[in-house]
A and B are shown apart, each in its own frame.
Chain A
Amino acid sequence: MSLLTVSDLAIGFGGIRAVDGVSFAVQEGEIVSVIGPNGAGKTTLFNMISGLYTPDQGSVELAGQQVTAMAPHRLAARGLSRTFQNLQIFPQLTVLENVMTGRHLQEKPSLFADLLSLPSSRRKTRETEATARLLLDKVGLGQAAALEAGTLSYGGLKRLEIARALAAKPRLLLLDEPAAGCNAVETEEIDALIVAVAGEGISILLVEHDMKLVMKISSHIVVLDQGCKIAEGKPAEVSRNPKVIAAYLGSEAGDDAAA
């Protein structure tokens, strides 16, 4: 049984089919990449899978269970976690608190206990803090724990988001362009991090523009263009596919510049 099965998923915005009948599956422990030119519908696809958008058609199954259009917080409880292309960090919280928030589902907060600072509440905070510090060390932000998150560098924020998503103990992690806008060194760091995470048995669905990275780490690749799946397969197969080459380079020079 696949961990994630996406069947015939489609959504339109004002007459434009942003994603049109896309199907694919992610097996347990796999790294699957979704690639495609800008505007191909990759982030829209992610937003439907993670419950932020309600698809017009099609279905999403997580571990064999129907989860189409389920509220994001319920999906999170079923083991789906994600990061965002345009960064959704909590800037006023500290770096440490950002990651601690990722443990919300494990904490199962009780308002009453928290208001009165009962031992159960303090114990949860202690345990969460310990876990969060380990994760921060893992992504190389251990030294920055006490800083306000808004003060981190761009690459640091990207890694912080991954640490926060990992804190939720996902079975499936959706990473939306984790290396976008990062310099070469930062990209290297994030590459290594993704491989390490996958090594722990967490399945990863990745949107990424860095082809070198995608080709290197993906089990298989789904290629989108203008909302449709135009190819799927192992990295080597996909990179030779004429449709993929056309979509990336444009069948006529200059087409892609507008996208």
Chain B
Amino acid sequence: MRLSPKHATLLLLLAILALAPLVFPSSFYYRVFALIYVNALAVTGLVILLGFAGQVSLGHAGFVGIGAYASALAPMHLGLPPLLALVFGALLSALVAFVIGRPILRLKGYTLAIATLGFGILVSMVLRNEAWLTGGPDGVAVPALGLKDGLKGLGLKLKTSELWYWTSGIVLLFGAWLALNLQHSPSGRALRALHDSEVAAKTLGVDVARFKLKAFVVSAVYASISGSLLALMNGFVTPEVAGFLHSIELVTMAVLGGAGSVIGGFFGSVLLTALPQALTFFQEYKHLLLGLIMMLVMIFMTEGLVPSLQRRLFGRTS
């Protein structure tokens, strides 16, 4: 029996997760890859919103920010344990997405892009200016998750960087599994249908507004958890995490890798997270090269890196 695209993707991710550490020259790479996985989690959410449902958001770092600051502030002010703080952040992001999604998702194309951009800027402004709560531009410390001590109790000793490598990798794997399940499910078909033709989807009975909102809320939860993990991993968070640049980065990762595919979003995250590290060799030409690579990919691989390669190698996309 042929491997389904869903299982192929999961297997590939699992293989990368398990085998990559074997070729790491130093423990620094654990951290780089943990960053890749954390970014890829938010990008997977964008694959659902942008790739499946075709709705752009230039403000998703706003939800990353909500997740990150929930991890920092909820233990301090609400007395929540760190893991519950992550869940609290995800629920808060879902609620915010639900409330703002209703009016915003009536917009289309670039008007939707600007409205979501506004949301992202709003969040980062609040985080920057409400210093009494958020610590302002200087940021705020994040209480540890306590995983390390927990594992030590079980007799498992891991370095912090290794611990975060595995934690973020496993969460990403779970997130990818959910997104892949969705892709070829009844809900996923409705989302991908409204992406191609809203009017046809409507006449087939799809409540387009409701399904867009569902995709928006789900993708906000992905972004929020990504933010919480980032905050916990760094032990510190600043308003930049919710900033405009981070939003753009996430969308670029999704589109560069191939927004319609989960594995595409993953490789987009690899490219944009790892390449700047890899290109440090070229010093001052680094950003020039990065920009050039991005342009070339989009010109010659309009569908994004992974779907274009699949089409060229196998004559189809999954």
Contacts and interface: CB of A to CB of B under 8 A. Distances in A.
B189 A101 contact: yes
Contacts of B202: 51-52, 71-73, 76
Contacts of A93: 189, 192-193, 196
Contacts of A72: 199, 202-203
Interface stretch (B205-213, B247-255, B290-298): B205-213
Contacts of A82: 203
A74 B236 CA distance: 49
Contacts of A71: 202, 207
Contacts of A77: 205
A3 to B, nearest CB: 17
A125 interface: yes
B218 A115 contact: yes
A137 interface: no
Contact of B206 (A104, A115, A165): A104
A103 to B, nearest CB: 8
Interface residues of A, number: 45
B104 to A, nearest CB: 19
Interface in A70-117: 71-73, 75-77, 81-82, 84, 88-93, 97-98, 100-105, 107-111, 113-117
Given A88-B200, A91-B196, A109-B187, A114 B205 contact: no
Interface in B164-203: 178, 181-182, 184-190, 192-193, 195-197, 199-203
Nearest to B316: A148
Question: What's the interface size class on B, roughly?
Answer: 20 to 34
A52 B203 CA distance: 9
A51 B200 CA distance: 12
Given A101-B204, A111-B214, A116 B181 contact: yes
Contacts of A168: 204-205
Contacts of A89: 196-197, 200
B196 A92 contact: yes
A68 interface: no
A73 B195 contact: no
B204 A102 contact: yes
A104 B186 contact: yes
A117 B201 CA distance: 23
A187 interface: no
A259 to B, nearest CB: 25
8 contacts: A71-B207, A84-B199, A90-B192, A92-B192, A101-B190, A101-B193, A104-B193, A111-B182
Given A52-B202, A84-B200, A89-B196, 16 more contacts: A71-B202, A73-B206, A75-B203, A84-B199, A88-B200, A93-B193, A93-B196, A101-B189, A102-B204, A104-B189, A109-B186, A114-B182, A115-B185, A121-B185, A121-B186, A125-B186
Task: Give the 8 A-B CB pairs with smallest separation, nearest first.
Answer: A114-B185, A76-B205, A109-B186, A88-B200, A90-B196, A117-B181, A105-B205, A72-B202
Interface of B: 178, 181-182, 184-190, 192-193, 195-197, 199-208, 214, 218, 260, 316-317
Interface of A: 50-52, 71-73, 75-77, 81-82, 84, 88-93, 97-98, 100-105, 107-111, 113-117, 121, 124-125, 128, 148, 164-165, 167-168
